[in-house]
Amino acid sequence: MDAPIELDIYYSDGAERSSVVGRYHAHTRRKTVFLFTSGALLLLMLLISASIGAIGISPANVLRILLSGDLEGPGRIVWSVRMPRIVGAILVGAALSLSGTVMQSVLRNPLASPYTLGLSNAAAFGAAFAIVVLSAGRADSSSIAINSPYVVTISAFAFSLTAAAAVLLLAKLTRISATAMVLAGIAIGSMFAAGLTLMQYLADSVQLANIVSWTFGDLGRADLRAISMVTIAAVPSAVFLLHHRWEFNAMDAGDETAKGLGVNTERLRVAGMVAASLLSAISVAFFGIIAFIGLLGPHIARRVIGGDHRRLMYASPLLGAIILLASDTAARSVLAPMVLPVGILTSMLGGPLFIYLLLKRRMQ
Amino acid sequence: MTLKVDGIEFGYAAHSTIHDVSLAADRHDILAVMGPNGVGKSTLLKCLNRILEPRHGSITIDDADVRGIARSDVAKQIGYVPQRGVASHMTVFDLVLLGRLPYIGWDACDGDFELVGRVLEVMGLSHLSLRYADEISGGEFQMVQIARALAQQPRVLVLDEPTSDLDIRNQQHIMRTLAQIVRSTPMVVVMAVHDINLSLRYANKFVLMNEGTIYAGGGKEVITSESIRAVYGIEARIAEFDGTSLVIPQ
Q: Do A261 and B98 touch (CB under 8 A)?
A: yes
User: How distant is the Cα of A264 from the closest Cα of chain B, in angstroms?
Assistant: 8
Nearest alpha carbon to residue A298 among A230, A216, A354: A354
Pair A191, A162: CB distance under 8 Å: no
Hey, CA dihedral for B77, A265, B81, B40, is it positive or negative? Answer: positive
**CB-CB: which of B74, B82, B117 is closest to A21?**
B117
DSSP state, B212? T
Residue of B nearest to A310 (CA): B107
Q: Do B116 and A249 touch (CB under 8 A)?
A: no
- Residue B189 belongs to domain with CATH number: 3.40.50.300
Percent of chain B with pLDDT strictly greater than 70: 100
Q: Do B51 and A262 touch (CB under 8 A)?
A: no
Q: How many helices (H) and strands (E) does chain A have?
A: 15, 2
B246 forms beta bridges with: B239
User: Strand B78-81 to strand B156-160: parallel, antiparallel, or no bridges (unpaired)?
Assistant: parallel
Best residue in B114, B129, B178, B187 for a mutation probing chain A (most A CBs within 10 Å): B114
Domain that holds residue B125: 2-249
DSSP string, A5-56: P---TT----PPPPHHHHHHHHHHHHHHHHHHHHHHHHHHHHHHHHH-SSS-
pLDDT at A141: 36
pLDDT at A197: 94
Measure Cα distances from A305 to A108, A309, A315, B39, B128 in Å: 19, 10, 8, 43, 17
User: How distant is the Cα of B233 from the closest Cα of chain A, in angstroms?
Assistant: 31
User: Is it the case that residue A342 has pLDDT exceeding 60?
Assistant: yes
Task: Please count the residues of chain A.
Answer: 364
User: How distant is the Cα of A298 from the closest Cα of chain B, in angstroms?
Assistant: 13
pLDDT in tens, A168-205: 888 777 766 767 777 888 888 899 999 999 999 999 88
Residue of A nearest to B121 (CA): A20
Task: Give me the amino acid identity at B53.
Answer: E
pLDDT in tens, A63-110: 999 998 888 888 888 888 899 999 999 999 999 999 999 999 988 888
User: Is it the case that residue B12 has pLDDT exceeding 90?
Assistant: no
Cβ contacts (< 8 Å) between A10 and chain B: which residues?
A: 153, 185-186
Q: Does B135 touch chain A (CB under 8 A)?
A: no
Q: Which of B 39-78 lie inside 8 A of A, CB atoms?
A: 46, 49, 51, 70-76, 78
Q: SS3 string of B64-83?
A: EEHHHCCHHHHHHHEEEECC
Exposed e or buried b per residue across B144-169, where buried means at least 16 C-beta atoms within 10 angstroms of its C-beta? bbbbbbbbbbbbbbbbbbbbeebeee
pTM over 0.80: yes
User: Is it the case that residue A4 has pLDDT exceeding 70?
Assistant: no
Query: Residue A276: which pLDDT band, with cuts at 50, 70 and 90?
Result: very high
pLDDT at A16: 46
pLDDT at A93: 96
**CB-CB: which of A2, A15, A17 is closest to B176?**
A2
User: Strand B244-249 to strand B236-241: parallel, antiparallel, or no bridges (unpaired)?
Assistant: antiparallel
Cβ contacts (< 8 Å) between A5 and chain B: which residues?
A: 122, 177, 180-181, 184
User: How distant is the Cα of A275 from the closest Cα of chain B, in angstroms?
Assistant: 19
Q: Which of B 190-229 lie inside 8 A of A, CB atoms?
A: none
User: How distant is the Cα of B38 from the closest Cα of chain A, in angstroms?
Assistant: 18
* CA gap A328, A322 in Å, rounded: 10
Cβ contacts (< 8 Å) between B161 and chain A: which residues?
A: none
pLDDT at A55: 85
Q: What is the mean pLDDT of residues A303-309?
A: 92
**CB-CB: which of B91, B99, B181 is closest to A5?**
B181
* CA gap A196, A124 in Å, rounded: 7
* ipTM rounded to 2 decimals: 0.92
Strands (E), chain B: 2-12, 15-26, 30-34, 56-61, 64-65, 78-81, 156-160, 188-192, 205-210, 213-218, 236-241, 244-249
Pair A278, A77: CB distance under 8 Å: no
Hey, CA dihedral for A323, A326, A328, A331, is it positive or negative? Answer: negative
- CA A193, chain centre distance (Å): 21
Q: Which helix (H) or strand (E) holds A115?
A: none
Count of domains observed in chain B: 1
Query: Residue B145: which pLDDT band, with cuts at 50, 70 and 90?
Result: very high
